[in-house]
Structure 1
Amino acid sequence: MSQEKSSFRGLVPFLVFILVYLGTGCYLQFKGTEMAFYQLPSPVAIFVGIIVAFLIFKGSFNEKFDSFLKGCGNEDILIMCIVYLLAGAFAQVASAMGGVDSAVNFGLTFIPPQYIAAGIFIIAGFISTATGTSVGAIVSLGPIGVGLAEKSGVSLGLVLAALIGGAIFGDNLSVISDTTIAATRTQGVEMRDKFRVNLMVAAPAAIITIILLVVFGKPATIIPPEVYDYSFIKILPYILVLGLSLAGINVFLVLTVGVLSAGAIGLCVVPDFTLLGFSSNIYKGFEKMIEIFLLSLLTGGLAEMVKRAGGINWLISKIQTMIKGKKSALIGIGTLVGLIDMAVANNTVAIIINGPIAKNISNKFKVDPRKTATILDIFSCVAQGIIPYGAQMLILIGFANGAVTFFDVLPYLWYQGLLFVLAIISIFVPFADYYINKYPWNFEEEKENK
């Protein structure tokens, strides 16, 4: 069970997981099942891979079980899992006290009617950044976007593309997004550092997209402005969490403050928001994160077994034949996570699977892990934002009730395309590396800490 082993057999359990997950989704899609790729819980699929690992890896059962437990108990894995729970609690409590509705209505009230498409992008970006979920932003804004498109005469495909683009923008940058949590924890970097590097790539893509939406998204009919019901105080927890995160406060403290502030506001201003309801919503938030919590925990255990059996070393040795330096290393990491996301239709799962591999490649070729975390998040979000069978696109198209198809939305996915192009350019032309150059990563210090 030497860690220096290099064996394709060590990679087989991960391949089994992907094939079971992907195969089930494809089969159910063929059968016409709604949300086919989300019917099989991912922890069950990874559990199949774990069983295979115990069956085919050499060594006694106790040795393999010890490796599995070591992986589950990895500090980064446990931190990731706890952050997931706290992020879920914050999102649920803030939503229950009316934070999401207020944020949406606040944006709709102050964005001029002639900028509907651009406004939808901006509001979706804010909601997704604040809540850490692109799906949540799409669910909140989807019906509104469809209604605005119908009233104004703006192409429904364009409005829906603006919505999913803004949602992906926020999901990619949010400090409480599960993709950010997975990308930063697997690479051992701070969320604020990844945010600063990521922003330099995502912001230009967002600005260009907004300009295009303003130019090409002019409504045929100007909708009279409406004043929607909102309460600014209900938006404050989101602003507080974002501000504290960027200030470098410990993520556990940030999310705890977020949960308590959202609960306190709910208790003060929402009549039917009780202390018992507050505690119940905290637990509901935990429950919503159970799947990704279990997946991360089990994947950590399997990853350690795969590593000890030589699977990761084997994959790295094969990838290294195509990698000549830092630039090709980042291209390889981005390509791998993008392809895995297209296979499993879940960007967080893709990052969790690729995280250990990306970390090993980054260490070998001295790639700044903050850049690696950024590339992992960007490429997985781009892939998730364009696949027709992803949850985001399926929910989005569902709101249209047959009025548009994926192919009507596809030509307008400008943000995803721009983000991909700028991410590639940033690898070869370091326009986004100001923060990295100002605060270079100390690989020797990291080695000593280990």
Structure 2
Amino acid sequence: MDDINQHRRSGFQAVIKQFLKERLDARLDKLPEDDSRRQSLIAQFEPETWIADAARRVGQIQAATHILKAVHPDARGTNFYLSPDSLPSHAEVGSHALGDDFAGDVVGNAAALDVYKFLRQTCDGKTLLDAVLAGDADLKAAFSEDSAQAQTWMESFAGLVQARGGVATHTRAKQVYWLVGRDPCNDGDFHLLAPLYASSLAHALHSAINEDRFGDAAKAARQARRDKQDHPTGYSDYPQLLVQKLGGTKPQNVSQLNSERGGVNYLLASLPPVWKSGDLREPWRVDSVFAIFGARIPVRAAVRELKRFLKADPPETMATRNYRDELVDGIIDELVSYAGELQEGLTPGWSADALCRLPKEECLWLDIGRSKQDEGFRSEWLWFDWPLEIGKRFGNWLNGALGKNLPLGDIEQRQWRRELLTDPLWALQLDQGKRNINKVTKAAGEEA
């Protein structure tokens, strides 16, 4: 014990006790004061007892930065935990560019995720997991006075970032033959690659894109451009941005970070952008914005493919449902993108013009900037009954766009409506709008 820094050891112990206390208190709050299970529960959360159990359960999960299940949900193979500083540096963007500030992912049994949360607790700017991997003697002493027992626990927790078993791929994993020699006719000049999903990099990309699209700084820069005013920073746009959803209705089955993103995985356009002039006009003299939206080239193409697919009368299988949902999701993504263009590209208050014939719910949806000057408009927006009406209008429009030769009715209309109202990008756009309007409401109240 002579080599132990008692101050650091006490710091680690305090972090551990606080973590366990919060989890214990949450469990005890659900039990009556006279419940006989309380003492047993308290005993389970004694530090050494809980740590011993956590060291046993840590084998049910694995920390990773590169995962396999995102490639195919039924793939069984190796996941890797590779810190960015352990990767070779090169000019192209990759996981090596993340630096020290990166989010590690977790795969495995969701019931054991509390162990990962435990190891993510910080002391002196370092997580318990970092300390475990560094073989920190002070953390080891904080775990137990029994040095051998503490060492066993340290080794168990360190196994969180280690590949399990031998390195293996799977028949449902992607595999690519990569030419490393000079002769493409010689099989020996190829390497067989098994690419994994760079989960930590995808999470950083998702956070950066969301900030660029919906962050306050980006919105202020766009507003300055519309007002033809100087601004200290610019803003970023992502033409032809696509969203891939991983895990379906259970994104947690892929990984922890995927669950935090709601399964949303951004795909950047792999072709050079074809820039078009920003000739965005107010949707005046039309009874519904869907008339303009449906005429957009990507929307027409997506509706045409959905119509072709449904007319083929595909079998009622999971593959059919997945492809149909994929097509509808693409149309919804276009709708959210178009709404964002109108919300951010037009002068706020355009819907109050006499030339605007849009129904009230579409005005509330598309002219959110009007809420800054129009208190009545702001109150109607916050009443928040209009998104359901937009969902109904979307369902009716899509039924009509698919034509009269398909047996579509109320059931399909409700399905299209439900898919829009539960779409994460749609929900994110609404949530951002609500936060902005609440700020305006608060500011108006303070001025009054």
Q: TM-score range by the shorter chain?
A: under 0.3
Higher strand share: 2
Which structure carries more relative contact order (alpha carbon 8 Å, separation 6+)? Answer: 1
Q: Which has the larger radius of gyration?
A: 2
TM normalised by structure 2 equals 0.25
TM normalised by structure 1 equals 0.25
